């Protein structure tokens, strides 16, 4: 079967950009380490500037830095010359992006930045350019050629610059010991925030909503309790009030297949002993992994002594947006 020219062209572009990234990785040197130290030592904010395609890349880099523990924002260099330069203050660090290193709008604001004593970190494809010469730290993001067949449209070069920004952000993130909890505080909205911020205690059923019976309860009465609480499971406690077993609607189907007489059987004789349990401080996202790993649809929450304190099922996690 003949390969579509579109597929061939797409693969060629990806191969070219893959090569550009491989070459970029090999080029990282002490300048990259100096750039990381400068970011860590910055007492103010990181201000990213860039024109054209570099402005879009710069916005993404600023966003990534801000969400990983480095206060940062993007300023358009054209607007900076008309008042927005006031956003840059002594103590800040400026990341200036220009593939040519000669972008007029970027060069125009450099003298002001330098007079303020602001650290200038350049990302350019030409380290010998005006921008490269003015920078305190210059990172080489050059590429052999663009993925564009005319070697004109910014493609491989923008990919390399974006990767350099990601490399800086992650290296600095690790140096700051920036944790998943820190990341969650920057992402309270959406699915990501819910996965990182929702705990079992936030979604579990408690009190009278808990489906609980003793181990001597008849299976028929236990099923009535399970149906009333509508969690698809019931917890069984021993004489000391400790959770000693669980019985689910799936277990009921298996009991019926085995010929168990639900009218004459105690739930303790058919329960699953030593069920999976969790503390209330568990992340809800971790419960999703537990359920998937053990092919279960519900779990009980116990306190430090092993007494049932709550319960939740897969539907609760779906409602919370973490499943």
CATH number reported for the structural domain that contains residue 95 in this entry? 3.40.50.10490
Does 86 share its domain with 225? no
Does 219 share its domain with 153? no
Does 308 share its domain with 230? yes
What is the C-alpha separation between 107 and 93, in angstroms, rounded? Answer: 16
* Ordered per-residue pLDDT tens for the chain, 323 residues: 677 889 999 999 999 999 999 999 999 999 999 999 999 999 999 999 999 999 999 999 999 999 888 999 999 998 988 878 888 999 999 999 999 999 999 999 999 998 999 999 999 999 999 999 999 999 999 999 999 999 989 999 999 999 999 999 999 999 998 877 667 666 556 556 666 678 999 999 999 999 999 999 999 999 999 999 999 999 999 999 999 999 999 999 999 999 998 888 999 999 999 999 999 999 888 999 999 999 999 999 999 999 999 999 999 988 888 87
Does 31 share its domain with 155? yes
Domain harbouring 224, CATH code = 3.10.580.10
**Residue 281: CB atoms within 10 Å:** 9
Does 150 share its domain with 294? no
Residue 89 lies in a domain: yes
Does 169 share its domain with 220? no
Tokens at residue 67, please?
A: 């969400």
Does 50 share its domain with 145? yes
The pLDDT value given to residue 86: 87
Residue 192 lies in a domain: no
Residue 184 lies in a domain: no
Residue 187 lies in a domain: no
Residue 194 lies in a domain: no
**Residue 73: CB atoms within 10 Å:** 14
Does 171 share its domain with 44? yes
Does 160 share its domain with 20? yes
The pLDDT value given to residue 2: 72
Does 47 share its domain with 164? yes
Domain boundary among 145, 178, 211: 178
Does 220 share its domain with 94? no
Strands 243-248, 272-273: pairing is antiparallel
Say what the pTM is: 0.68
The DSSP bridge partners found for residue 137 are 121
Domain that residue 297 falls in: 200-319
The pLDDT value given to residue 82: 80
The tally of domains found in the chain comes to 2
């Amino acid at each position: 079967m003949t390969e579509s020219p579109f597929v061939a062209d797409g693969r060629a572009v990806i191969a070219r950009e893959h090569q550009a990234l491989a070459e970029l990785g090999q080029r990282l040197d002490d300048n990259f380490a100096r750039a990381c130290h400068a970011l860590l030592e910055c007492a103010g904010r990181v201000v990213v500037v860039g024109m054209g395609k570099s402005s879009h890349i710069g916005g993404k880099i600023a966003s990534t830095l801000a969400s990983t523990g480095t206060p940062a924002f993007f300023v358009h260099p054209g607007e900076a010359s008309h008042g927005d330069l006031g956003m840059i203050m002594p103590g800040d660090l400026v990341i200036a992006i220009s593939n040519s290193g000669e972008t007029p709008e970027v060069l125009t604001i450099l003298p002001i930045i330098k007079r303020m004593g602001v650290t200038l970190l350049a990302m350019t494809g030409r380290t010998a350019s005006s921008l490269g010469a003015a920078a305190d730290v210059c990172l080489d993001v050059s590429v052999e050629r663009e993925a564009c067949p005319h070697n004109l449209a910014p493609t491989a070069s923008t990919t390399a610059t974006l990767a350099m920004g990601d490399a800086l952000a992650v290296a600095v993130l690790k140096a700051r010991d920036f944790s998943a909890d820190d990341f969650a505080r920057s992402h309270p909205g959406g699915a990501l925030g819910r996965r990182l911020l929702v705990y079992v205690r936030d979604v579990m059923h408690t009190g009278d909503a808990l489906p609980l019976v003793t181990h001597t309860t008849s299976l028929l009465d236990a099923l009535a309790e399970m149906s009333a609480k509508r969690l698809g499971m019931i917890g069984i406690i021993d004489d000391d009030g400790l959770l000693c077993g669980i019985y689910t609607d799936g277990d009921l189907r298996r009991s019926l297949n085995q010929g168990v007489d639900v009218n004459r059987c105690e739930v303790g004789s058919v329960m699953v002993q030593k069920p999976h349990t969790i503390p209330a401080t568990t992340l809800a996202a971790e419960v999703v992994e537990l359920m998937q790993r053990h092919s279960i649809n519900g779990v009980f929450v116990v306190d430090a002594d092993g007494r049932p304190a709550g319960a939740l099922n897969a539907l609760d996690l779906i409602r919370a947006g973490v499943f």
